[in-house]
Chains A and B, each alone.
Chain A
């Protein structure tokens, strides 16, 4: 990994090292600017999907920003009340579409809480393995898309090269490239194919060997740092009151990660590293993202070593019925904390199924980050608050 000292000294415009700043920024008071309202989106390449942001601008500076969401609202919570649990698991895949496995894992974990089901060990370890590969898939996508928004086009192709290999691996076990439907209450559907662990090990070594390129060429890139250091700082206490979680929160310095604070599956038995940032700015968020990829690879290595043998699921009744009562289950999605509130009246469909998604809270904090930035910085901030629109709107 390269030396990641902040290069603040190298960036000041119009100066040579040792000289004072030649330009003086006095604000827009002397210039004739006009206010206007600009609507970015919903069909805009930089907004990661169909998110619309209505900005009041004074010249190039953003005075206020209001995200308008709902363009991908598909009514999942209502549909969940008319579907049984296996159908719900198949449908939740499609919300945070970059990490489908983790979404359905959350449903399985919540269901197992209310059904008080014992999940076989091997199933738990397999789930962890798939969850970590899914986490890397998600983070690689953001590595590619954030870089392309800042103008660097090639990291996208490299990130997708890695993604294709990982998707190929997961497809060999689950049959799906994007939406896996591999979980069921009590375990996973079928066992891993023969040779899967060996393939996974080879892929682990391959991705590990390619990771330094991202650190050196993207994170260590002077232009990237100039565009992200100090941009969009987020105050940790404010972030918590908004419910921000995941890399966005960890970049503020708070090491809140469900895998460590409320371990589910077998995360309590392995070393889980939670990288944190210092300033909560865009650079730190990306830094945390890359380090999470590295940490996930380390976890996958531990999972390979610990994988037991045994059954991978329990015999389910014909129709899975949750007992009466309510439960709140929570897992660590790649983007943050994913929570499911399930209230059951004893039948095969839930009475109320609420999906608490990380992106909804992450997007809610955007106005705070966008106020006072310039338009080019707006793109940098928007890309750094990692969210998926399907997760925001459900």
Chain B
């Protein structure tokens, strides 16, 4: 079935459980109420017209202040359509608890364990979330949350520079606490390296002048500072 037919089909059967549907970029997503998720998934599996016999995956998404979302991807090998079910997990960021799909599809077992390991979302009805499936058993923190910072990027931006503004009047380093998503990204390091190269080579072609903005430095591919986070990253054509 194509997306419009699926939309209508689902609305006829579980219309009150659906908050919204969206068909964008060839991906059909249905947002459902969290307490109706198991019912909708069971319908998708057992209904003749939907026939979603394959459990593709289930994972979490950090939606910032709104909390977390869990997305479940189901596929039908007979009808050749894919449905993404999305729920906003109740409990916000402090105590997220989502319904478990292990009673509907066995494959949800490890997927939900991984979501718990990465986000800290508890699954109600899951046979056993602990021990942590992917990280070390005694790992602290929930890695994929936006407020989990990558320590290596914080501690040592390439190659370990510290700007004068980051020292207070006694010469001690001021600890900055960046916001979510504030860890240096790929071109932040480009800029930092470009600034460092310019400072080290005054009067050369690298010194682009005081009007050189962050955006220009990021957009300019011809600076000498080459970003080499991954050894095999190719050059843009």
- Nearest CB of chain A from residue B197's CB, rounded to whole Å: 19
Q: Which secondary structure characterizes the binding site on chain B?
A: loop
List CB contacts (< 8 Å) of B204-237 with chain A: 218-219, 221, 229-230, 232-234, 236-237
In the complex, A161 has a CB within 8 A of chain B:
no
Q: Which residues of A contact B219 (CB under 8 A)?
A: 318-319
Q: Do A73 and B107 have beta carbons less than 8 Å apart?
A: no
Q: Do B25 and A113 have beta carbons less than 8 Å apart?
A: yes
**Residue of B143, B187, B221 touching A84 (CB-CB under 8 A):** B187
List CB contacts (< 8 Å) of A319-362 with chain B: 319, 325-328, 330, 337, 339, 341, 343, 348-349, 351-352, 354, 356, 360-361
Q: Do A327 and B187 have beta carbons less than 8 Å apart?
A: no
Q: Do A90 and B135 have beta carbons less than 8 Å apart?
A: no
**Known A-B contacts A75-B143, A78-B143, A184-B234; A327 and B107 likewise in contact (beta carbons under 8 Å):** no
In the complex, B43 has a CB within 8 A of chain A:
no
Query: Which of B55, B71, B186, B221 has the most CB atoms of chain A within a 10 A radius of its CB?
Result: B186
Q: Do B153 and A82 have beta carbons less than 8 Å apart?
A: yes
Q: Do A87 and B77 have beta carbons less than 8 Å apart?
A: no
Q: Which residues of B contact A393 (CB under 8 A)?
A: 134
Q: Do A70 and B54 have beta carbons less than 8 Å apart?
A: no
In the complex, B20 has a CB within 8 A of chain A:
no
Which residue from chain B places its CB closest to the CB of A394 in the assembled complex? B134
Which residue from chain A places its CB closest to the CB of B136 in the assembled complex? A70
- Nearest CB of chain B from residue A289's CB, rounded to whole Å: 20
Which residue from chain B places its CB closest to the CB of A75 in the assembled complex? B143
Contact with A along B50-92 (1 / 0, CB 8 A): 0001111101011000000001010001001010100000000
Q: Do B232 and A316 have beta carbons less than 8 Å apart?
A: no
In the complex, A307 has a CB within 8 A of chain B:
no
Q: Do A313 and B62 have beta carbons less than 8 Å apart?
A: no
Contact with B along A111-153 (1 / 0, CB 8 A): 0011010000000000000000000000000000000000000
**Residue of A262, A351, A361 touching B80 (CB-CB under 8 A):** A262
- Nearest CB of chain A from residue B184's CB, rounded to whole Å: 8
In the complex, B10 has a CB within 8 A of chain A:
no
- Nearest CB of chain B from residue A234's CB, rounded to whole Å: 13
List CB contacts (< 8 Å) of B3-42 with chain A: 24-27, 29
Query: Which of A86, A315, A326, A349 has the most CB atoms of chain B within a 10 A radius of its CB?
Result: A326
* Bound Cα distance A66, B185 (Å): 38
* Bound Cα distance A238, B55 (Å): 10
**Known A-B contacts A318-B219, A364-B110; A82 and B183 likewise in contact (beta carbons under 8 Å):** yes
Q: Do B236 and A318 have beta carbons less than 8 Å apart?
A: yes
**Known A-B contacts A73-B135, A240-B53; A328 and B82 likewise in contact (beta carbons under 8 Å):** yes
Q: Do A337 and B186 have beta carbons less than 8 Å apart?
A: no
**Residue of A77, A82, A184 touching B150 (CB-CB under 8 A):** A82
Q: Do A325 and B232 have beta carbons less than 8 Å apart?
A: no
Q: Which residues of A contact B25 (CB under 8 A)?
A: 113-114, 116, 325-327
In the complex, A241 has a CB within 8 A of chain B:
yes
* Bound Cα distance A394, B59 (Å): 14
* Bound Cα distance A79, B82 (Å): 28
Q: Do A241 and B234 have beta carbons less than 8 Å apart?
A: no
Q: Which residues of B contact A93 (CB under 8 A)?
A: 232
Q: Which residues of A contact B84 (CB under 8 A)?
A: 328
List CB contacts (< 8 Å) of B101-158 with chain A: 105-107, 109-110, 118, 132-136, 143-144, 148, 150, 153
Chain B residues with CB under 8 Å of chain A are 24-27, 29, 53-57, 59, 61-62, 71, 73, 77, 80, 82, 84, 105-107, 109-110, 118, 132-136, 143-144, 148, 150, 153, 181, 183-187, 218-219, 221, 229-230, 232-234, 236-237
**Can you list 25 pairs linking A and B with CB atoms under 8 Å apart?**
A70-B132, A70-B134, A78-B148, A82-B153, A82-B185, A84-B187, A87-B230, A90-B234, A113-B25, A240-B55, A242-B106, A243-B54, A254-B77, A256-B54, A316-B236, A318-B219, A319-B219, A325-B25, A328-B27, A328-B73, A337-B56, A341-B59, A349-B185, A352-B62, A354-B59
5 cross-chain pairs, A with B, having the tightest CB-CB distances, nearest first: A327-B25, A242-B107, A243-B107, A73-B134, A356-B57
